[in-house]
Amino acid sequence: MIAELGLFLMSLALALALVQVVFPTVGLVTKQALWLGYARPAAQAQFACLLGAFLALVHAFLTNDFSLAYVAQNSNSALPWMYRMSAVWGAHEGSILLWATILAGWTFAVSLRVHRLPADVGAVVLAVMGAVSVAFLLFVLFTSNPFARGLPSPSDGADLNPLLQDPGLIIHPPMLYMGYVGFSVPFAFAVAALVCGRLTPGWARWARPWTLTAWTFLTVGIALGSWWAYYELGWGGWWFWDPVENASFMPWLMGTALIHSLSVTDKRGTFKSWTVLLAIGAFSLSLLGTFLVRSGVLTSVHAFATDPARGVFVLSILGVAVGGSLLLYAWRGPKVLSGGTYSTVSRETFLLANSLLLTVSTATILLGTLYPLLVDALGLGKISVGPPYFNLVFGLLMAPLAIALGLGQFSRWREDQLPRLWRGARYSAGAALIVGLVIGILVDGPQRLTAAAGLTLAGWILFTTAMGIRERLIGRASLSAALGALPRAFYGQCLAHTGFALAIIGVCLTTALSTEQHARMAPGDAVSLGAYEFRFETLNQFQGPNYQASEARFTVWHNGQQVDELHPQKRIYTVRNQPMTEAGISPGLSGDLYVSLGEPLDGQAWSVRVSFKAWVRLVWLGALLMAGGGVLALRDRRYQSATSAAASDAALAQG
């Protein structure tokens, strides 16, 4: 019964989403303010319906209702309850419902604040988000209904994919979707600006916190995904350049460009057309990611059940949404989007350079991801593009990005002088080069050059960040008062840039310094890795809730002292008869001790991999600092006063 209620609520939500699109459109065409107003209540009711539908699906999972085909395929009565929860979004149907629900949630949040916008802009924003919602609800209802009953219903379910039975995976997809879907807000704003024919600085100030929030979620989501791959896949890698990873990374890069470009539009009134294009681009790439993951056009380690009908559907959504908005951009852009001047040497230039570099990076990743498809479509055969391409191209693009980032941090708006920049930059550049040299001398091995170059760039970012802070404090009488007076957004910027530098350091050092050894080991054996000795002490069998596990106990010794104890496991998930590796990891800032069990060999012996993952935590710590920077910037007073800015725009528009 509850499942049917869920289906009904989903259909009702579709009807409400249609209201949310049609009424404001009619209102806009016939210039009737009353009709514009219907968008808000419709959006709020739509969210209530979808939340209800989503909870109905959660209920079906928690109560083990295996008469639903989707529940039967992705859950099992022995599955612990928290994984039954996360199984809701463990496969296509449920995750697309989550997508739609989160979209409705964002729409709801926008609808609560939309009265601060000019009536027509607000109505168009809600109508655009409603249109996206209509498309996705049609998609769910016609191709991917999670509430479909399966006949005959099985007595127990086929279990959730063991790879997904992990705490990190409970929150990874919702975080990622919050980010993906959140980019629909700046997208709707961009379309609204084009439709209404005006783009004021107030518009940018309004769009900024939404974009920043979405970007922060996406940052956390991607970091979680990478962390999960590291410990759960048992291969110790943290990024594979897999098509699905790329699908999340591309909107992130575009979103990064967008938050920077928006800040320029907000503060200086320039870059309007670029900002609008990036806003369209970030959401387009989110949609493209959805398409790539769910259509089955590319083979990936993240195999969603694929179906050509779904691919056609998502491609149509993509075509209409992106094609439509880009046509609008081509048509209205030249009239709406102009204004602002700046000189060649100025902070604007460096920010523009970085926006371009981020866009080019996105394009190269898109090319690498789609190249196999392109070659296939042209009938030239089938190929795959691997990490060497991505590492090289992406790495090369990061160098100028880091340089421009540093220069942007302490250059002035509108106009600056090269001699002044040079005076400011020379100490940072010198110090960064020394750091790089030292690393180049200390680090040995094939990655020496990469590590030295990476650390030079990271040092440059850190030193120029410090210079930027110094610049703001120079000549102030009281240091503490001056520090307190700096806007939170500035602190957010410094924190995020520090995080970026740390991530670069982490990536370079873990690549250059990690060590690894494979060995055949039985209880009692020991293997040494650098200064550490790993001893295989005992092996136990035990029964988990829905798996059988072999757990090894390893002790780690350093200079004759026991420093750690690790418990790697090999699990066999009984329902699917699928083996899984749970690595034994002891985290540390300067490196993780990592043991994973391979396969059982003869007797009690196992193939074992022991590794030292140098500085790998910095990669995720960097990402978390970037997200923290986002949160800090969101708390800036600027956005609290956004009300007045938007209100003055509104007065301007109506007056």
Binding positions for another protein, 371-430, rule CB under 8 A:
372-374, 376-377, 381-384, 386-387
Select 440 or 579, whichever has its Cβ closest to another protein.
579
Which residue's entry shows tokens 């990536």? 507
CB atoms within 10 A of CB 612: 23
- Please identify which residue in the block is written with the tokens 């460009």: 257
Cα–Cα distance between 542 and 370 in angstroms, integer? Answer: 45
**Is 352 among the residues that bind another protein (CB under 8 A)?**
no
Work out which of 18, 58, 149, 242 binds another protein, going by CB under 8 A.
Answer: 242
Q: Does 263 bind another protein (CB under 8 A)?
A: no
Considering beta carbons, is residue 33 or 301 the nearer one to another protein?
301
Nearer to another protein, 235 or 427 (CB): 235
Shortest separation between residue 291's beta carbon and another protein, angstroms: 7
Q: Check binding of 364 to another protein (CB under 8 A).
A: no
Nearest Cα residue to 98 out of 89, 106, 90, 109: 89
Per residue, the 3-state secondary structure of 454-513, as one string, reads: HHHHHHHHHHHHHHHHHHHHCCCCCHHHHHHHCCHHHHHHHHHHHHHHHHHHHHHHHHHH
Q: Give the whole-angstrom CA distance, residue 632 versus residue 557.
A: 42
| Binding segment toward another protein, per CB under 8 A, in 59-67, 322-330, 345-353, 450-458 | 322-330
Cα torsion through 22, 24, 26, 27, rounded to 10: 160
Q: How far apart are CA 172 and CA 560, in angstroms?
A: 40
Q: Which of 57, 199, 298, 398 binds another protein (CB under 8 A)?
A: 298
Q: Is 301 in the site for another protein (CB under 8 A)?
A: yes
Residues 291, 314: contact at Cβ < 8 Å? yes
Provide the sign of the torsion angle of the four alpha carbons 529, 532, 537, 542, taken in this order: negative
Minimal distance in Å, beta carbon 220 to another protein?
A: 24
Of 215, 238, 271, 329, the residue at the interface with another protein (CB under 8 A) is 329
Q: CB-based contacts of 290: which residues, under 8 Å, 6+ apart?
A: 99, 180, 247, 314
Name residue 227's beta-bridge partners: none
Beta-sheet pairing, 515-521 with 606-614: antiparallel
Residue 190 binding another protein, by CB under 8 A:
no
Token reading at 7? 């289906």
Check residue 21 for interaction with another protein (CB under 8 A): no
For another protein, give the closer residue by CB, 595 or 619. 595
Q: Which of 19, 315, 539, 624 binds another protein (CB under 8 A)?
A: 315
- Which one of 300-308, 420-428, 489-497, 529-537 is the stretch in contact with another protein (CB under 8 A)? 300-308
Told to check if 251 binds another protein by CB under 8 A, we report no
Reference 52, options 13, 81, 19; nearest CA is: 13
Q: Which two tokens stand for residue 105?
A: 């949630």
Name which of 303, 223, 237 is nearest 583 in CA terms: 237
Say whether residue 88 binds another protein (CB under 8 A): no
Is 546 a binding residue for another protein by CB under 8 A? The answer is no
When the beta carbons of 333 and 459 are compared against another protein, the nearer one is 333
Min dist. Cβ of residue 308 to another protein (A): 7
CA distance 64 to 161: 16
Stretch that binds another protein, among 146-154, 234-242, 438-446, 524-532 (CB under 8 A): 234-242
Q: What's the order of all strands across the beta sheet hosting 584-586? A: 515-521, 606-614, 591-600, 584-586
Q: Does 511 bind another protein (CB under 8 A)?
A: no
Q: How far is Cα 279 from Cα 207, in angstroms, rounded to an integer? A: 10
- Give yes or no for residue 369 binding another protein (CB under 8 A): no
Which listed residue (599, 641, 644, 652) binds another protein by CB under 8 A?
A: 599
Residue 607 C-beta: closest distance to another protein, Å: 6
Contact in structure between 566 and 554 (CB atoms under 8 Å): yes
Which CB sits closer to another protein, 518 or 558? 518
Instruction: Identify which of residues 31 and 382 has a Cβ nearer to another protein in the complex.
Output: 382
Question: Does the protein bind another protein through residue 539 (CB under 8 A)?
Answer: no
* 300 lies in the binding site for another protein (CB under 8 A): yes
- Single out the residue of 48, 233, 356, 522 in contact with another protein (rule: CB under 8 A): 233
C-beta closer to another protein: residue 241 or 463: 241
| Residue closer to another protein, measured from CB, 222 or 318 | 318
CA–CA gap between residue 66 and residue 340 (Å, rounded): 61
Please list the residues that pair with 607 across neighbouring strands: 520
Establish if 150 lies at the interface with another protein (CB under 8 A). Answer: no
DSSP string across 50-86: HHHHHHHHHHHHHTT-TTBHHHHHH--TTS-HHHHHH
Q: What b/e readout covers 115-150, taking b as 16+ CB neighbours within 10 angstroms?
A: ebbbbbbbbbbbbbbbbbbbbbbebbeebbbbbeee
Cβ nearer to another protein, comparing 109 with 360: 360
Residue with Cβ nearer another protein (299 or 343)? 299
Minimum distance from residue 169 beta carbon to another protein (Å): 15
- Does residue 529 interact with another protein by CB under 8 A? no
Q: List C-alpha distances in Å: 64 to 67, 83, 166, 255.
A: 9, 12, 19, 39
Of 316 and 586, CB closest to another protein:
316
- Decide whether 373 or 393 has the Cβ nearer to another protein: 373
Determine phi and psi for 269, rounding to 5 degrees: 75, 10
Distance CA 72, CA 402 (A): 50
Q: Is 598 one of the binding residues for another protein (CB under 8 A)?
A: yes
Q: How far apart are CA 623 and CA 218, in angstroms?
A: 10
DSSP state of 322: I
Binding-site size for another protein (CB under 8 A) equals: 56
**CB neighbours (10 Å) of residue 527?**
18
What dihedral do alpha carbons 43, 44, 48, 49 form, nearest 10°?
A: -30
CB of 381 to another protein, least distance (A): 6
Residues 550-589 that bind another protein (CB under 8 A): 576-580
Q: Residue 326 interacts with another protein (CB under 8 A)?
A: yes
Strand ranges (DSSP E) for 559-642?
561-566, 569-573, 578-582, 584-586, 591-600, 606-614
Site membership for another protein, residue 538 (CB under 8 A):
no
* In the complex, least distance from residue 151 CB atom to another protein, rounded to whole angstroms: 20
Q: Which stretch binds another protein (CB under 8 A): 115-123, 294-302, 546-554, 582-590?
A: 294-302
Nearer to another protein, 122 or 281 (CB): 281
Residue 333 in the binding site for another protein (CB under 8 A)? yes
- Whichever of 203 and 573 has its CB closer to another protein, that residue is 573
Q: Which of 39, 244, 297, 435 binds another protein (CB under 8 A)?
A: 297
Amino acid at 555: T
The contact set with another protein (CB under 8 A) reads 233, 235, 240, 242, 273, 277, 280-281, 284, 291, 295-301, 303, 308, 311-312, 315, 318-319, 322-323, 326-327, 329-330, 333-334, 370, 372-374, 376-377, 381-384, 386-387, 518, 520, 576-580, 598-599, 607-609
